[in-house]
Amino acid sequence: MPRVTEREPLRGSVSVPGDKSISHRAAMLGALSRGTTLIRNYAPGRDCLSTLECLRQLGVKVESQDTTVTVHGLGLAGLSEPRDVLDAGNSGTTMRLLSGILAGQPFYSVITGDDSLRDRPMKRVVDPLRQMGASIWGRHGDSKAPLSIKGGSLSPLVYRMPVASAQVKSAILLAGLYAPGETRVAEPAPSRDHTERLLEFFGATVIRSHGTVGVKGNPPLQSREVEIPGDISSAAFLLAAAAIVPGSDVVVRGVGLNPTRSGFLDVLRAMGARLEVEPVPAGGPEPSADLRIRYGPLRATVIQGQAIPGVIDEIPALAVVATQAQGVTLIRDAQELRAKESDRLRVMAQGLVAMGAQVEELPDGLEISGPTPLHGGTARSCGDHRVAMALAVAALASPDPVNLEDPECIAISYPSFFKALASIGGYPL
């Protein structure tokens, strides 16, 4: 277990790995396109490698060198039946988005994942994909992986999603590529729109109107060159660290700033953080920017309602920032966090309380009173990469050492996290 301790101010400039959500989608759409798709700055975490491995098992030739990935597309109808079970590892995005693609295939496939993923809700994709005509079975009344899928001959669907989920929306839109006519989805609150953007970039017709998004079936998808921007969900931990460590002044370069993902910055601003955003040119359909943050006094805020999907992966980092902000921060309507890689409401509340924070777990959120001095001890990540990074950041506000359990899980999304932190004066390696 690495021991992490309070350090000097964080200073310097650092870049973060490519965006995980965009990387998965670029690889999948490359596979379904005709021609060779070149992806630069592909996310190096284990989740996105799981997607590449699954695509290989479906007959797609994928080459990768460092973070450059070449996908030799087979067209919409070119995938072949996998000889073995597909393994999505820890990655919900791999499992749910691939389920949408597999629903459109006239062959049999089985997709599974690790202990955490096999416990996560899959009925939310099984139901709409069945309505489109796919046969899908799973454990626990078809609600949990492994999922077995026999697809093909899909009909278009008009679907009102019960939860705001980009993974569910994307699974339906990807299945919609295999249905004649228009498949349309409405969501209760706007979730990340990377699938829509990339579908258009690869040549599909995407129709947006009045809170719904649709795709026309059987589009002529064409290969592309895509540059993946830095992952704002990874940047969030470095920004959170600089926000709470006195004297810090940090620039994170080339961060994806899709408006459906940048809610974290809005919340930091509402808390009084000193943040500057400098747009930089992007090599794809996603905007990106350099972000500078300087330490300053922070005040509590309220995060709830329609704002939640835009910060869903950043709430662990925000919870840590809130422990150092003046007043009571309220996070509500975030019950979806209980269905992530861990029950993030419970695990973050327990982890921060164990370090001396005042955190109350609510059924749908957290109530955090601050500022509170944090102290050392053992930080339990429960195998959840974002919890592990959030607690490592919290440890920077503690004068004594913190033993972080299971730090290896961070490699799911951000293998070089400790290196990046060390490069701006954070933990020693």
Which two tokens mark 295?
Answer: 């330490």
Closest to ligand S3P by CB, 164 or 359: 164
Contact region with ligand S3P (CB under 6 A), list: 67-75, 76-84, 163-171, 363-371: 163-171
User: Of residues 165, 223, 258, 342, which one binds ligand S3P by CB under 6 A?
Assistant: 165
CA–CA distance, 380 with 364 (Å, rounded to integer): 21
Q: What would the two tokens of residue 380 be? A: 């339990």
Stretch that binds ligand S3P, among 108-116, 138-146, 164-172, 217-225 (CB under 6 A): 164-172
The whole-angstrom separation of Cα 394 and Cα 391 is 5
Q: Is 4 in the site for ligand S3P (CB under 6 A)?
A: no
d(CA 360, CA 134): 43
Q: How far is the CB of 120 from ligand S3P (least distance, A)?
A: 9
- Strands 11-15, 249-256: pairing kind: parallel
The tokens for 163 are: 């939860």
* Residue of 313, 333, 364, 406 marked active site: 313
| Sole residue written with tokens 């951000």 | 414
Return the bridge partners of 111, or none: 86, 147
Residue 199 or 355 having the CB closest to ligand S3P: 199
Beta carbon of residue 197, minimum distance to ligand S3P (angstroms, whole number)? 12
Segment near ligand S3P (CB under 6 A); pick from 80-88, 165-173, 275-283, 299-307: 165-173
The footprint of ligand S3P on this chain (CB under 6 A) covers a number of residues equal to 10
Query: What's the CA gap between 159 and 161, in Å, rounded?
Result: 6
**Catalytic annotation on 313?**
yes
Which stretch of DSSP H or E encloses residue 53? Answer: helix 46-57
CB of 429 to ligand S3P, least distance (A): 27
Among 99, 112, 167, 324, binds ligand S3P (CB under 6 A): 167
Judge contact between 378 and 400, C-beta under 8 A.
Answer: no
Structure token digits, residue 158:
């008009």
Q: For ligand S3P, which is the closer residue by CB, 117 or 391?
A: 117
Buried b (16+ CB within 10 A) or exposed e, 250-277: bbbbbbbbbebbbbbbbbbeebbbbbee
Sole binder of ligand S3P in the list 55, 95, 145, 166 (CB under 6 A): 166
Asked whether position 50 contacts ligand S3P by CB under 6 A, the answer is no
CB of 93 to ligand S3P, least distance (A): 4
Q: How far apart are CA 347 and CA 365, in angstroms?
A: 12
* The one-letter amino acid at 84: D
CB-nearer residue toward ligand S3P: 26 or 166: 166
CB of 27 to ligand S3P, least distance (A): 12
**Residue 93 contacts ligand S3P per CB under 6 A:** yes
Q: CA 192, CA 308: separation in Å to the nearest integer?
A: 11
Contact residue for ligand S3P among 114, 313, 314, 343 (CB under 6 A): 313
User: What is the x/- site pattern for ligand S3P, positions 178-207, by CB under 6 A?
Assistant: --------------x---------------
Separation of alpha carbons 213 and 44, rounded Å: 30
Q: Interface with ligand S3P includes 344 (CB under 6 A)?
A: no
Sign of the CA dihedral running 288, 297, 321, 408: positive
Task: Kindly tell me which residue out of 240, 312, 318, 389 binds ligand S3P, with binding defined by CB under 6 A.
Answer: 312
Q: Which residues are catalytic?
A: 313
> For binding to ligand S3P (CB under 6 A), which residues are involved?
21, 93, 165-167, 170, 192, 312-313, 336
